[in-house]
Chain A
């Protein structure tokens, strides 16, 4: 397979060498996906990889005019193929799991903050740390919407991929990230206003 410059790829993919260039690009996508998915997915991945490469090729050709040439075209194309493959794999892996199933029925194991088992901590320090934990919990309860809590529960607690949670919530991955970022910023601001620093929060939730 010949090495092409970005301009040669663009010319070939859009010109008279289109069929050959597409075949070459498909081969590269397939090889890249085979390597990246071999450590990620069990079982026979040959058919999966061919499907992913084909779906990715359609997107790549569709987006070709947005390629800015800041990386190799083949790297840019493989980025799209990886996104196509991982999105589909995540969707399949989580298709039978409802978000509601990821919400805890009880409060889980007892939380033992480090300060409670720290023999060096004075009673005063212990009371202080306990107040920090309670303040953080209260601030979360008071400032998050149910939608934000549901998303954070599913993603942080249940391990649900961001884009799967986004799809279930009728939004997209980027918008859900922004929603959670807004929630985090708000909580941090509230906690700072209550006199809790970043170090205070990290120390109080550092469990034994």
Chain B
């Protein structure tokens, strides 16, 4: 199979930034609610949960859901006050 050049570039970046210890989507999902609350409280969840942060930066699906959860929690919290 021929690899498209654009994909090669993305793969090269993905390979170069690979670490041995990465969590998968299931583990990220387990902690993303805690991560979001921590962020909304003005804390630094990336420091406390670096593996979750790294996964969110790498996985487009999990990142999209993280952003959506952030919006949803902000909206429902604001409306409750």
Contact = CB atoms under 8 A, between A and B. Distances in A.
Say what secondary structure dominates the interface of chain B: helix
Nearest to B81: A3
Interface string A92-134: 0000000000011011111100000000000000000000000
Interface of B: 1-18, 20, 22, 24-26, 29, 32-34, 36-37, 59-61, 64-65, 68-69, 71-76, 79-80
Contacts of A32: 71-73, 75-76
Nearest to A78: B72
Nearest to A173: B25
B29 A79 contact: yes
B61 A163 contact: yes
B8 A109 contact: no
Nearest to A32: B72
A111 B9 contact: yes
A36 B10 contact: no
A28 interface: yes
Given A78-B76, A173-B61, A40 B5 contact: no
A90 B68 CA distance: 14
A80 to B, nearest CB: 9
A16 interface: no
A193 to B, nearest CB: 13
Given A104-B4, A136-B12, A184-B18, 16 more contacts: A32-B71, A36-B71, A70-B34, A74-B76, A75-B33, A78-B69, A79-B36, A82-B68, A108-B4, A108-B6, A153-B3, A174-B26, A188-B16, A201-B12, A201-B15, A201-B16
